[in-house]
Amino acid sequence: MSVKHAISRGLEFGRSVYKIGLLKPASRIAAKFRGERVHGPPQSRTAQPQTFLPSRYRYFRTTLSGIAARVQSGGFRRFAGSSPRNRAVFLAFGLGVGLIEQQQEDDRGNAATCQGIQELFSKKKFQSPLKRFTSGYKLEDYAIGKQIGKGSNAAVYEAAAPLAFSKKTSSVVEVSEDQGEGESTPYLRCCFPLAVKMMWNIGAGSSSDAILRSMSQELVPAGPHALGQENKQISLDGHFGVLPRTVPAHPNVIRVHRAFTADVPLLPGAREEYPAVLPARLNPDGIGYNRTLFLVMKNYPCTLRQYLEGNQPGLRQGTLMLLQLLEGVDHLYRGGVAHRDLKSDNVLVELDSDGSLRLVISDFGCCLAQSDGSLQLPFNSVWVSRGGNACLMAPEVATAVPGRAVVIDYSKADAWAVGTISYEIFGEPNPFYGAQGLESRSYQENQLPRPPAAVAADVQLVVSLLLRRNPEKRPSARVAANILHLSLWGKKALANQDSVAMRELVDWLLCQSAVVLLRGCGGPRGNTVEAELQRGFLAHLELQDLRTAVGFLLFGRAQRQACILCA
């Protein structure tokens, strides 16, 4: 409610109070409040109770459990012979409660609007652009190409499958899951559209059940048809609870299309790249088991680290990349999953047909995916794993000391890691890497280097907020993403430098929803990534998160204004 509106309502309320005689004896005012008659003989008809306020103010009595009316009535009774000042205080208090109720009514309306927008956009689920297929549960179904990646626990190879060769051409084709097995005209896919990740099995045994249980965290981004029929009912007991706990498809999270166990083959480069983890039948000195887990995913051109080594995205493109990481982390958080090993090596990049960059979070081998989704890990022993990359471990995780009642909260740990990766996105070295880098367990916030001056002030604000040591003062990934959304597309709604009316912001959200619906799958300038980001923002719209984001934006503006004045 605007200040002008509040003043006008206060004046109208004052006039009504003056009419009943604020300066008259308190006993008469109290009597009038109770609807009693003070003077004059009794009349034949029943006296109707007088309303203390005009009809439009009767919500004072009927809302907030009648607090305002009871306080005023009690005040008159208690201070019947008191001064007009005391009576005015209780009247003012009643007015204040009424204004609070009006604000609550506005909030309820705004929250209902946000919920309606959220329901509208959350109905449409993300569909992977890669065509699905009906088979592919055996390693023999795939043509394996060259090695395209290698980590600490797996090797990744390009692949094409399920295989079917056209009679007219020798192109590799991929059968859509929407087609029947007897149908012809399969979806044509040349080269190697898929990637096969072969896990290294050095301790899980050769039983398929034991392998799936030991490596179940890798199945967190698995689709509903990833496991074959024989494995669908298996109970996957991971290191941190009962699995599977999978997350729905999201444009910024990798999707595992198939997962199966098979005998370890001798793939190209195996003896040179990872001889020690091969089974004895392939390498007499190897310590690996004969069978292991294979994961089939979409083939992405490169990792974020590889891309940034030869490319420098523009400022707007960098902001969109940072926003995609925050949206992916928020999606995992909503699914009760903490990645715990977020770094530029575990983020994949592809170039969309319209030239925009899409970022995808991958490699869930270190993730926390408990059955209750609380992201609270009991840390009662040094043998409990805290996650992957120690350099990018959030302060609350890095400084945790094991104890009987110690619990590590991972709800904002991945958001902190995104803040560190943002430096790499904007062309700066990650401040937590290298011999001279900061340590997450001991750094101070004033030691953090400033992002390049060309980066937008709101983006710099988000980076500084994400890297706060205290997780209670650090925004969630959802709030940080909202700040960037408002900065990118809500500048008109945030034109006022001093304050932002929630009603005006909700009106902008309605207009934005209409624009996004009219554009369909194409965003501004036909950018599909921006369209997905805008839809994701509207699909997760909550008034409290939005209000918190606006508060951080206003805080950042006030800080910048103060710095300008001091200079």
- Written as six digits, the tokens of 281 are 């039948």
Residue 16 has pLDDT above 70, yes or no: no
Domain co-membership, 111 together with 192: no
Distance CA 326, CA 536 (A): 11
In a domain, 161, yes or no: yes
Write the pLDDT tens digit of every residue in 58-75: 444 445 445 555 555 555
Which residue among 330, 341, 363, 545 is the active-site one?
A: 341
Chain centre distance of CA 512:
20
For the ranges 15-29, 120-134, 210-224, the lowest mean pLDDT is seen at 15-29
3 state DSSP class of 160: strand
- Cα–Cα distance list, 526 to 53, 322, 517, 522 (Å): 57, 20, 14, 5
In a domain, 175, yes or no: yes
Q: What is the dihedral of CA 484, 522, 361, 428, to 10 degrees?
A: -50
Residue 312 has pLDDT above 80, yes or no: yes
Residue 440 has pLDDT above 90, yes or no: yes
Domain end residue (candidates: 88, 118, 148)? 118
**Domain hosting residue 33, numbered range:** 3-118
Domain co-membership, 455 together with 334: yes
Domain co-membership, 270 together with 385: no
Average pLDDT over residues 224-250: 63
Distance CA 449, CA 457 (A): 15
Number of Cβ within a 10 Å radius of residue 371? 13
Percent of the chain with pLDDT over 70: 68
Domain co-membership, 145 together with 108: no
In a domain, 306, yes or no: no
Write the pLDDT tens digit of every residue in 189-209: 458 899 999 999 998 888 888
Burial-class residue 222 by CB neighbours within 10 Å (0-12, 13-18, 19+). Answer: buried
Is 341 catalytic? The answer is: yes
- Written as six digits, the tokens of 96 are 């204040």
Chain centre distance of CA 558:
26
In a domain, 406, yes or no: yes
Domain end residue (candidates: 83, 118, 153)? 118
In a domain, 132, yes or no: no
User: Number of structural domains, the chain?
Assistant: 3
Domain co-membership, 269 together with 408: no
Distance CA 550, CA 491 (A): 12
Domain co-membership, 236 together with 344: no
Domain co-membership, 229 together with 366: no
- Written as six digits, the tokens of 123 are 């109905």
Task: Compute the 3-state secondary structure of the chain and give helix, strand, coil in percent, each to the nearest 5.
Answer: 45, 15, 45
Domain co-membership, 378 together with 515: yes
Contact 191, 223 (CB under 8 A): no
In a domain, 134, yes or no: no
3 state DSSP class of 139: helix
Distance CA 393, CA 440 (A): 7
Distance CA 192, CA 298 (A): 9
Domain end residue (candidates: 299, 322, 340)? 299
* Short-list 80, 542, 556, CA closest to 330: 542
Domain co-membership, 434 together with 459: yes
Write the pLDDT tens digit of every residue in 250-306: 999 999 999 999 999 999 899 999 999 999 999 999 999 999 999 999 999 999 999
| Helix locations, 21-83, DSSP H | 26-34, 59-62, 67-78
- Written as six digits, the tokens of 283 are 């390498």
CATH number of the domain that residue 341 is part of: 1.10.510.10
Task: For the full predicted model, state whether its pTM sits above 0.95.
Answer: no
| Beta bridge partner(s), residue 187 | 174
In a domain, 126, yes or no: no
Position 53 confidence tier, pLDDT thresholds 50, 70, 90:
very low
Distance CA 223, CA 206 (A): 24
Domain co-membership, 10 together with 79: yes
Domain co-membership, 526 together with 405: yes
In a domain, 268, yes or no: yes
Amino acid at 310: G
Distance CA 491, CA 344 (A): 30
Domain co-membership, 265 together with 339: no
Give the DSSP per-residue string, 331-351: HHHHTT-B-S--SGGGEEEEE
